[in-house]
Amino acid sequence: MFASPGPFVLQIGPLSIRWYGLLFATAVLLGTWLAQREAIRRGEDSDQLLNVIVFGVMVGLIGARLYYVLFNWGYYGARPMKILAVWEGGLAIHGGLLAGGLATVIYAVRKKLPVLTYLDIMAPSAPLGQAIGRWGNFFNQEAFGTPTDLPWKLYIEPYHRPPHLVTYEYFHPTFLYESLWNFLVFAILYCLLRRRLEHTPGALLLCYVGLYSVGRFFVEGLRIDSLMLGPLRAAQVVSLGLIALSLVGLAWLRTASKRPQHR
Q: What is the pLDDT of residues 56-111, one digit of tens each?
A: 999 999 999 999 999 999 999 999 999 988 877 788 999 999 999 999 999 999 99
Dihedrals phi, psi of 228, to nearest 5 degrees: -110, 145
Classify residue 63: in a domain, yes or no: yes
Classify residue 2: in a domain, yes or no: no
In terms of residue numbers, what domain contains 176? 13-256
Classify residue 59: in a domain, yes or no: yes
Dihedrals phi, psi of 169, to nearest 5 degrees: -105, -30
Count of domains forming the chain = 1
What is the bridge-based pairing of β-strands 154-155 and 2-3? Answer: parallel
> Residue 227 contacts by C-beta under 8 Å, 6 or more apart in sequence?
68, 71, 72, 92, 233, 234, 235
Classify residue 7: in a domain, yes or no: no
Classify residue 50: in a domain, yes or no: yes
The predicted model gives 152-170 an average pLDDT of 97
Classify residue 150: in a domain, yes or no: yes
pLDDT of 258: 73
Dihedrals phi, psi of 262, to nearest 5 degrees: -90, 135
Tell me the pLDDT of the chain averaged across its residues: 94
Classify residue 3: in a domain, yes or no: no
Classify residue 1: in a domain, yes or no: no
| Residue 1 confidence class, pLDDT cut points 50, 70, 90 | confident
pLDDT of 88: 75
- What DSSP character marks residue 147? B
The 10s digit of each residue's pLDDT in 180-199 is: 999 999 999 999 999 999 99
The 10s digit of each residue's pLDDT in 226-261 is: 999 989 999 999 999 999 999 999 999 998 877 665
